[in-house]
Amino acid sequence: MKMSIHESKNIIEAKNVFKTYGDSATNAVSGVSFSVPYGVCFGMLGPNGAGKSTMMKMIYGVCLRDKKENSAIKVFGHDPGVNALPIRFLSGIVPQEDNLDEELNVEQNLKVFCKFYNIRGEQADKRIAELLSFMELSEKQHHGIKQLSGGMKRRLIIARALLNNPRLLILDEPTTGLDPQVRHLIWDKLRHLKRDGMTILLTTHYMDEAFQICDTVFIMDKGKRVAEGDPQELVDKHIESYVMEIYSKESFSIISKDVSEKCCRVDESGDAVRIYSGDYEKLREFSKHLGIKDFNLRQSNLEDLFLKITGSGLNAQQ
Ligand code: ADP
């Protein structure tokens, strides 16, 4: 298939992409294809080492994909491996690491980027004030970077990525290491941006982050796609609606005969025994035999989907 991006409704098209680092025998990214339409929040979800950051870096051109026939990446119609500059001008990039300049204060960090985008004078001051207000950092305008908390630094990096009014915002693990309150604030801001028409591409290893803000999740493991779609639809389609997690094999043995007789699906991999069923009452009935601290009965989610497909958890070490 030949890509005709200018007629495309997709902002990003990736086709059969591979990336091998050095002489490594394993591919960090291995034959990945996907499209990101305009105006959606597209999340790459997977455990550490799945290849998400590598894929992201190939999209904005700081990492080159392996040269292969029939392999392509197009972003706004440009190949990031050949000409990344127009992509950078149309995008805002929030890298995983906090790369603010500690010699400069909050406002000066933004001013440097304004110069890069040729935003000058009053226009720059206005844009900086707007974005500091949007990210709830106005009172920090003249503070040094070392005086900011981790959450404030992250919000400042997002503000910096928005200076050029990008059509595409790319975020690599936007809330890793942040406390729940800041994570929710960042999710609210991303939802706001999406409502205003921005396309968002992010990586995360947090199932709840993908569930909360993504229209489409692209689930990766060991450099490959394992599932893709609307998060709720994926769960509804592939997983029983409820799961009882039992924290010890001894507790599970109390009810295991009932479970096998009543044909629930049991997953014993990982840190707990998980009993899956579409019938909440059936699981509730099993739970009556257990102590209150022995189990958790809940709706199933993307973590359960990942476990079913790969046999390991999203936060398991690779
Ligand atoms: P993720 O973002 O999902 O955690 P990465 O893209 O960072 O995954 O890593 C995918 C694989 O590529 C891992 O095995 C990682 O160790 C390897 N890798 C990533 N960056 C480099 C690098 N610069 N050099 C060598 N190997 C790398």
pLDDT of residue 126 exceeding 80, the answer is yes
What whole-number percentage of the chain has pLDDT above 70? 96
The mean pLDDT of the chain is: 92
From 124, 194, 169, 116, select the one nearest 132 (Cα to Cα).
Answer: 124
Does ligand 1 have an atom closer than 6 angstroms to the CB of 28? yes
Sheet holding 72-75, edge to edge: 29-37, 10-19, 72-75
Which amino acid would we find at residue 311? G
Does ligand 1 have an atom closer than 6 angstroms to the CB of 199? no
Candidate of 21, 205, 220 to mutate for ligand 1, largest count of ligand atoms within 8 Å of Cβ: 21
Q: How confident is the model over 209-244, as pLDDT tens digits?
A: 999 999 999 999 999 999 999 999 999 999 999 999
Q: How confident is the model over 56-79, as pLDDT tens digits?
A: 999 999 999 999 999 999 999 999
pLDDT category at 24 given cuts 50, 70, 90 is low
Q: How confident is the model over 160-181, as pLDDT tens digits?
A: 999 999 999 999 999 999 999 9
Task: Calculate mean pLDDT across residues 285-314.
Answer: 87
Q: Which atom of ligand 1 is nearest to the CA of 26?
A: 14
pLDDT of residue 288 exceeding 90, the answer is no
pTM given for the model? 0.90
* Separation CA 312–CA 108 (nearest Å): 45
Task: Calculate mean pLDDT across residues 147-167.
Answer: 96
Does ligand 1 have an atom closer than 6 angstroms to the CB of 205? no
Give residue 20 CA to ligand 1 midpoint distance, Å. 9
Does ligand 1 have an atom closer than 6 angstroms to the CB of 46? yes
From 109, 150, 149, select the one nearest 132 (Cα to Cα).
Answer: 109
Give residue 241 CA to ligand 1 midpoint distance, Å. 34
From 290, 304, 305, 296, select the one nearest 256 (Cα to Cα).
Answer: 290
pLDDT score, position 8: 72
Does ligand 1 have an atom closer than 6 angstroms to the CB of 49? yes
* Separation CA 219–CA 130 (nearest Å): 35
pLDDT score, position 260: 77
Q: Which atom of ligand 1 is nearest to the CA of 29?
A: 10
Does ligand 1 have an atom closer than 6 angstroms to the CB of 244? no
Q: How confident is the model over 77-90, as pLDDT tens digits?
A: 999 999 999 999 99
Give residue 62 CA to ligand 1 midpoint distance, Å. 14
